[in-house]
Each structure stands twice: as C-alpha cells, then as structure tokens.
Amino acid sequence: MRLDATDIKIIDALIEDGRASVEAVAERIGLSPTPTRRRIRRLEEEKVITAYRAEIDITRAGLEIRIHVLVKLKERDPSSIELFESIVRDTPEIQSCDLVTGQYDYVLIIHLSSMNDYHSYLRQFLKDNAGVSSIESNVVIGRIKQTPKYALSAARPE
C-alpha cells in the first residue's frame, strides 16, 4: 500500500492521540469526517494501523532499571535461532528484541525493578539459553528522547 500525504497526516494525528475522535482527526488534518473515517478504516484493514494502546511511565509503574542487552549466539543455525527467539517471545521482561548486524546478533531491551532483579534474571536467562555465546549489558542512566512517532511526514517529503 502506498501512503499519500493525507494518510500520513492521519497516522501522525493518531500517533499523537490514539483516543482522538474521527471528528478531531478530521479537523486537525483539514478533511471532513466521512472521508477521514474511510481512510482510517482502510489503514486498519490494510494493517498499516495495527493497534491502539496506552503508553505508561515505566518508572512510575515500578520498573526502575532499563537495560540494553547485546547477545551473541554460539551457533547461527536455524534451530539455535528458533530456540533463542522462542524464549525471547515467551519472556515478559524483554520489551523488545531486534536482530542486528555487527558484532552481536540481537539487542534486547529489558525493564526490571532493580539491579538485583537483573542479576537473577540474567542467571536464569543464561541457564535457559545454553546457545548464548556472550552478553554485554548497558544500563540506561538517562533518556534523551522518547517518542511514539515514527516521523512518517519527516521521512517522506511531499
């Protein structure tokens, strides 16, 4: 599906406020509600918009520690990869996992309540993942920028 400038404006408006009414989105983008509603429905049906969700402040939710974990596997054969990725999918502490190029194979982002919890988590993670060759952990000490926006309008000039 090819997105046009109006689709991008709709997406930007919904990223900014996923609870906005169709009328509010229409007013923001300068289109009437009926075509705005049709476009939103089409974006949902074509899976461009996949969900609406709440964002939380993880610190206020009791998850004080954010850690980037770089993981290198011992072997990169299909069964080792599938086993590792299956464990990652089933581990709720892992907020995201990206397959990357470079020295490591994966970058995980984990949120936990304390370093003590991370120590326990890491021991269990390594026990469950015998196929892991090495792990490097980077504890986040401060956040410079966080945004839910994908900057579609900036990435796609008109």
Q: State how far the Cα of 42 lies from the Cα of 47, in Å rounded to an integer.
A: 8
Q: State how far the Cα of 101 lies from the Cα of 87, in Å rounded to an integer.
A: 21
Over the chain, what is the mean pLDDT?
89
Regions in the chain scoring below 70 on pLDDT: 148-158
Confidence (pLDDT) at 121: 87
Domains, the chain, in order of start with CATH, read: 5-54 (1.10.10.10), 65-139 (3.30.70.920)
Confidence (pLDDT) at 151: 57
In tens, the pLDDT along 123-141 reads: 888 778 878 999 999 999 9
Q: State how far the Cα of 106 lies from the Cα of 113, in Å rounded to an integer.
A: 23
SS3 24: helix
Confidence (pLDDT) at 153: 58
Task: Report angle CA 109, 114, 120 to the nearest 5 degrees.
Answer: 80
Confidence (pLDDT) at 157: 47
Confidence (pLDDT) at 103: 95
In tens, the pLDDT along 64-79 reads: 899 999 999 999 999 9
Confidence (pLDDT) at 149: 59
Q: State how far the Cα of 67 lies from the Cα of 95, in Å rounded to an integer.
A: 10
Confidence (pLDDT) at 10: 94
Query: E strand or H helix at 15, and its extent?
Result: helix 5-16
